[in-house]
Amino acid sequence: MRHLVTGGSGFLGNLIVRRLLAEGAHVRILDIWDDPERPPGAEFVLGNIMDQAAVRQAVQGIDIIHHTAALVPLTKSGDLFRRVNVEGTRLVASEGVAAGAKRFVYLSSSAIFGKTPSPVGVDAKPAPIELYGQSKYDGEVAAAEVCAAAGVPLISVRPRTIIANGRLGIFQLLFDWIKNDINIYVIGNGDNKIQFLHAEDLIDCYFMLMQNQQPGLYNVGSEVFRPLKPTLESLIAHAGSRSKVKCLPPDLTVKSLQILDQLNLCPLAPWHYLTYGEDFYFDIEPLKKLGFNPKYSNDRMLTESYDAFVANYDQFMKGKEGSAHRKPVKEQILKVLKVVSRFG
């Protein structure tokens, strides 16, 4: 089978590429940058998913398309979210089925559900609360429309927040502050349950669905998790840090972050600060019945990722160009909070 991975130089795309190659598949990558550490054996097409010529070139001779390319929340891309995450998805799906692709796999997002009450079941109605989540949901709908019209099976994978060694983004801020004995913060009292997902478990689930040829919509998360505050306190204890978990008033904090975000002073995206103080976890029983057995608890994935961050601190803080999840986040206004927290 011949596979195309859009966004194959990104964090998750790279993992999919490597797993496919390990299984002996023929793999082609379509991305706007070529990772210097691209695994041997993977073809590469330089191009944007909104560039029809590049997309048409990339899909030729492909059996299965893995669509991971997207603008992520940290990019704060405004109207570009729709152009890339929706119209780009529609273009990749349209060109792919026209070229004879037999299956389409869409990497969606839990952001499509907004503040839906937890546990979030597979039948929960998407209700995005910000531009990124709306674009990912509309992208999912666009892929479904194209695939349904062509009779091509669609697998849509909706992962919870992903943690893994080398995946930076907002976790770089968390790990760096704990390493340097800076207090960290929760919105509210921290008794909300937030489910994470280790990248290895996601990839295992992803390939289980692929191998079982199970078209459909799938919500993927860890099985073992607990409230946020004790989870973070456990990580601090593991790190031997003097950091403490401090609680912030929900309404005032969210409103303040919204204002700072509008002034381009806040590194967090709306998806982060609007949901950080809320319960959010998937019901994964439907996946378990199919054979999914996640290995990582929230605690385990956080401690292992923290240890890897500390062991490779200089490298991680320098980051890698090209992928929002593989390079550090600028602290912006949080630098002020960081200084204040030293004396808290």
Give the model confidence (pLDDT) of 25-45 as tens digits: 999 999 999 999 999 999 999
Confidence band for 325, pLDDT divided at 50, 70 and 90: very low
User: How much is the average pLDDT of 94-113?
Assistant: 98
Helix/strand number for the chain, H first, E second: 14, 11
Confidence band for 241, pLDDT divided at 50, 70 and 90: very high
Residue whose structure tokens are 């609680």: 247
Is residue 323 predicted with pLDDT exceeding 60? no
Each residue's pLDDT tens digit, 145-202: 999 999 999 999 999 999 988 777 788 889 999 999 999 999 999 999 999 999 999 9
Residues with Cβ within 8 Å of 219's Cβ and at least 6 positions away in sequence, in order, are: 110, 120, 121, 122, 124, 158, 282, 283, 284, 287
Q: Is the dihedral of CA 90, 91, 96, 97 positive or negative?
A: positive
Domains and CATH numbers, the chain: 2-162+196-220 (3.40.50.720), 168-194+225-280+308-341 (no CATH)
Hey, what are 241's tokens? 């840090």
The confidence score (pLDDT) of residue 263 equals 87
Each residue's pLDDT tens digit, 116-131: 999 999 899 999 999 9
C-beta of residue 93 within 8 angstroms of C-beta of residue 142: yes
Q: Select the more confidently predicted residue: 319 or 311.
A: 311
What percentage of the chain reaches a pLDDT higher than 70? 92
Residues 171 and 185: their CA atoms lie apart, in Å, by 13
The confidence score (pLDDT) of residue 172 equals 87
The confidence score (pLDDT) of residue 339 equals 47
What percentage of the chain reaches a pLDDT higher than 90? 82
The confidence score (pLDDT) of residue 292 equals 97
User: How much is the average pLDDT of 257-280?
Assistant: 90
User: How much is the average pLDDT of 240-258?
Assistant: 95
The confidence score (pLDDT) of residue 223 equals 98
Residue 249: CB atoms within 10 A of its CB come to 13
